[in-house]
Amino acid sequence: MYHNPVLLKQSVDDLVTNPDGTYVDCTFGGGGHSREILSRLSDKGRLFSFDQDLDALKNTIDDPRFTLINQNFRFLENSLLMHGVSQVDGILADLGVSSHQFDEADRGFSTRSNAPLDMRMNVMQNLDAKRVINDYEEGELADIFYHYGELREARKLARDIVHHRKTKSIETTEDLKKLFSYIPPHKVNKFYAQLFQAIRIEVNQELEVLKEMLVQAYNVLKPEGRLVVISYHSLEDRLVKRFLKNGMFEGEPERDIYGNYKKAFELVKSKAIIPDEKEIEENSRARSAKMRTGIKVG
């Protein structure tokens, strides 16, 4: 299976309120969410799905209501305009790396396989993990590890990398892991998950791309249109939670003399939805998922 969609029924239940409407799946992947959305639409309904990964194009759906756009979802608004669409009824974004990307060893996403340092979701872009590890300044690496991986020992990690690469380039995931053989065994799995996450976020500019998508999603949603986002780590979830609350990523919104501010969205539920034990048992990658749904204030 290319990818086992997370929170499939719950996300599409929240998303599709008008069978005749126009919807967007920002992260097509294996097409699981897209197929479920199409099953809820009438003949008048339309679905536009985005994916920058060329491998995902092999999963396209033969349906006249469906259009697959081979673009990063940071180009959401302009891409829809190119297809004659200025407003939509709902947008879904499942932010996780697909199972396929993790399982394809040569993509370099997985901590379990020895592979070239890559981690690009779009294999056509120039920046990859090898360039990050071998070319970035020590301070830049430390910031990435600290802010994106939430690694307290970020400065030491960056120093170790810079010291090693003076004599030999770091080419593979195994080369990188060997530098940190001093990590205690009981901390190894979490450490490498955080380290690889930090590098992957930098390579794909994931947080900046997410911010751009959320702002554009607000722009193209109709009043009372729905935005459903499934995130997989706290950095993403904090951005989504804050944006759904007040349409901002930092700072405080302007308030009236009564202390009220204009909301961007009404939350369907105040707390994030998480997968139940059965889904986690069937798909371990669902373990960290959190889903939030907002209704655009009209």
Tokens of 265: 């969205």
Contacts of 249 (CB under 8 A, 6+ apart): 211, 239, 242, 243
3-state class (DSSP) for residue 265: strand
Summarize the annotated binding site as residue ranges.
31-33, 51, 73, 94, 101
Q: Which of 232, 217, 231 is nearest to 265 (CA)?
A: 217
Q: What is the DSSP letter of 98?
A: P
3-state class (DSSP) for residue 1: coil
pLDDT digits (tens, 9 = 90+) for 43-95: 999 999 999 888 888 899 999 999 999 999 999 999 999 999 999 999 999 99
Q: How far apart are CA 128 and CA 60, in angstroms?
A: 26
Q: Are 103 and 2 in contact (CB under 8 A)?
A: no
Summarize the annotated binding site for S-adenosyl-L-methionine as residue ranges.
31-33, 51, 73, 94, 101
User: Could you list the pLDDT tens digit for every one of the 298 residues in the chain?
Assistant: 556 899 999 999 999 999 999 999 999 999 999 999 999 999 999 999 999 888 888 899 999 999 999 999 999 999 999 999 999 999 999 997 765 555 566 677 787 788 999 999 888 899 999 999 999 999 999 999 999 999 999 999 999 999 999 999 999 999 999 999 999 999 999 999 999 999 999 999 999 999 999 999 999 999 999 999 999 999 999 999 999 998 999 888 888 788 888 889 999 999 999 999 999 999 988 999 999 999 999 7
- 38 to 65, 79, 262: CA distances (angstroms): 8, 20, 34
Q: Are 142 and 153 in contact (CB under 8 A)?
A: no
Q: Which pLDDT does position 260 carry in this prediction?
A: 82
Q: How far apart are CA 37 and CA 12, in angstroms?
A: 6
